Amino acid sequence: MGASIKNLISGQLLAKNFFINLLGKGAPALVAFITIPFLIEGMGNERFGLFNLLLVTVGYFSLFELGIGRAITKFVSEALAGGEQENELNQLLWSSFTLLLLLGIFSTIILIGFTPLLIKKILNVPPFLIEEGVASLIWASLNLPLMLVSAGVHGILAAQQRFDLINLIQIPFGVSNYIFPLLILLLGSNNLVHAVLSIVIARLIVLAVSIRICFYTFPSIKKVARISLFYMKKVLTFGGWLTVSNIISPLLSFMDRFFIGAVLTLTAVSYYVVPYTIATKLLLIVGSLAMVLFPAFSYSQNQERQVNLELYRRSLKYIFLILTPIVLLLAVFSHDLLFLWLGEEFARHSFMVLVILSLAVLVNSLANIPYTLIQAFGRPDMTAKFHLAELIPYILLLWLLSAKLGITGVAIAWLARVSADALLLFWYADRLLKLTAARERSLILFAGMSLLPAGIYLLILALNLAVPGLIGRCVLALLAVILLALGAWKYWLDDGEKRALKGLKNFKLPGTQSPN
């Protein structure tokens, strides 16, 4: 059963899987960028806002997965490193899939029962959309058993670092989430029920293909094992605190849009969802890396401290260097981008939301690295406790700032919440890695990484008042990139990385050893 741990955490494999994941997540994002204007035009602002809330609702109810998919990745990773017998692992997997299917059916029943209250009472849905919204959400709930079982299948493939196969499956499905509803519009129907049904059918096809591929890469699972309450308890024990995170974390992520829909209007949801979609697509970069880091941290948990530290620090460094120029440019040209994409009305209402959320996404992306390490090291209880501590302050901040500043206030609240979360995650990751000296602590590194782009952006805001217009923004964007490059060269790149960049070859990605 054992596989070479050096092969499973090699820099070449991690880099390859990172770029595969980035492609897998980037393709649907590109399709979304192209199709969203047509979806808004075909559905109208209110129906498009409701469509997004329906997808968010189903996504939130996937919390009933209870962290089992990630538990499967951890236990299969340990087995591949020689920690468990094949027959025991088989029993754990079949018990896990049975549990996921039962939880999927249960969550569907709960969501169907909750649907009338949500559509008719909680969300500010206009009367002409209520009946259509109820029917659409009921059909959308059928996605839940398919989503939960898919999480288990992907957990097995992730443990084997087969992200090539995961993305071979996920790219068509991710694209279909936008293409199928658009095809429904082109066929003459803007009814949300038809759009939702097309997504359910796509999910069913994806699950069938996923299971077939899993049988190919992990043939031992074809042997049906006895369902065991012991192994159900084992995955639930690891997933217990993950479950708390799975409840609170999506709530923290989705609450902004629900808050706007309930307190403001569905049109305001559209004005917020568009810049939110643009900004959070940047999370695809760190999400692509976190997917490969979790099994890698799980493999190497009991290895030398230096192995984990090297993997951890390089991941932080490269995420920062990749994302910060993108975030600064997005912030500087936010109004121009929205104007060209969706017109003056959307740009006027939404550009400041995009500015704030793009900076928040940078902070959140950096925080994803310690978040992944903490869970891979078997301490999901800490991430859950942090989320619990953030919930009530975040609700109060949303209520206060949305009342005063509308959707801009909601974006500010999101930035404040992810910043507090990042500080807690970096602090605890330092404890796990036993980083005691101030110069070693990743919390100090994070502070520097956050202050540099924040300082540059404040400078840009000040100068933009003196140099308005597109030409002025281009000059300021160039200045920002130069300042960032100088700061990174002086403070974050080591001698080996500088030599690699000068030579434009042999550049090492996360998980590799420094050439020093």
At 84-126, the pLDDT tens digits run 566 777 887 888 888 888 988 998 998 898 888 888 877 777 7
Q: Would you say the C-alpha torsion 290, 292, 295, 298 has a positive or negative sign?
A: negative
Task: Give the pair of three-digit tokens for residue 196.
Answer: 């939702």
Q: In this structure, are residues 328 and 312 in contact, taking their beta carbons and an 8 Å threshold?
A: no
Q: What's the whole-number mean pLDDT along residues 271-275? A: 81
Q: Is the pLDDT of residue 505 over 50?
A: no
Sign of CA dihedral 182, 187, 188, 194: negative
**What integer pLDDT is reported at residue 97 of this predicted model?**
86
Q: Give the position of tokens 């087969």.
A: 162
Enclosing domain of residue 341:
5-503
Q: What would the pLDDT profile of 71-81 be if each residue is shown by its tens digit?
A: 788 777 767 66
Within a domain: residue 271? yes
- The amino acid sitting at 447 is A
| 300 vs 479, more confident | 479
Model confidence pLDDT, tens digit, residues 8-37: 445 556 666 777 777 777 778 788 878 888
Helix axes 192-217, 143-159, angle to 10 degrees: 30
Identify the band that residue 328 occupies on the pLDDT scale cut at 50, 70 and 90. confident
pLDDT at 4: 46
pLDDT at 408 > cutoff 80: yes
Give 411-416's long-range contacts (Cβ < 8 A, gap of 24+). Answer: 411/256, 411/272, 411/275, 411/352, 411/353, 411/356, 411/357, 411/360, 412/356, 413/256, 414/256, 414/356, 414/357, 414/360, 415/356, 415/357, 415/359, 415/360, 415/363
Mean of pLDDT values over 406-429: 87
DSSP 209-253: HHHHHHHHHSGGGGS-----HHHHHHHHHHHHHHHHHHHHHHHHH
485 within some domain: yes
The region that residue 511 occupies, defined by phi over 0 for left and psi between -120 and 50 for alpha, beta otherwise, is left
Are the C-beta atoms of residues 180 and 195 closer than 8 Å to each other? yes
- 516 falls within a domain: no
- Whether 280 maps to a domain, the answer reads yes
Report the Cα 216 to chain-centroid distance in Å: 28
Mean per-residue pLDDT for 369-373? Answer: 87
Dist CA 314 CA 373 (whole Å): 13
Q: What is the count of structural domains for the chain? A: 1
Q: Are 54 and 133 in contact (CB under 8 A)?
A: yes
- Evaluate whether residue 331 is within a structural domain: yes
Query: Residue 233 domain-assigned?
Result: yes
Buried b (16+ CB within 10 A) or exposed e, 50-59: bbbbbbbbbb
Which pLDDT score, from 0 to 100, does residue 311 have? 77
Q: Is residue 32 part of a domain?
A: yes
pLDDT in tens, 179-226: 888 888 888 888 888 888 888 888 888 888 888 888 888 887 777 767
In a domain, 79, yes or no: yes
Reduced to 3 states (helix: H, G, I; strand: E, B; else coil), residue 61 is helix
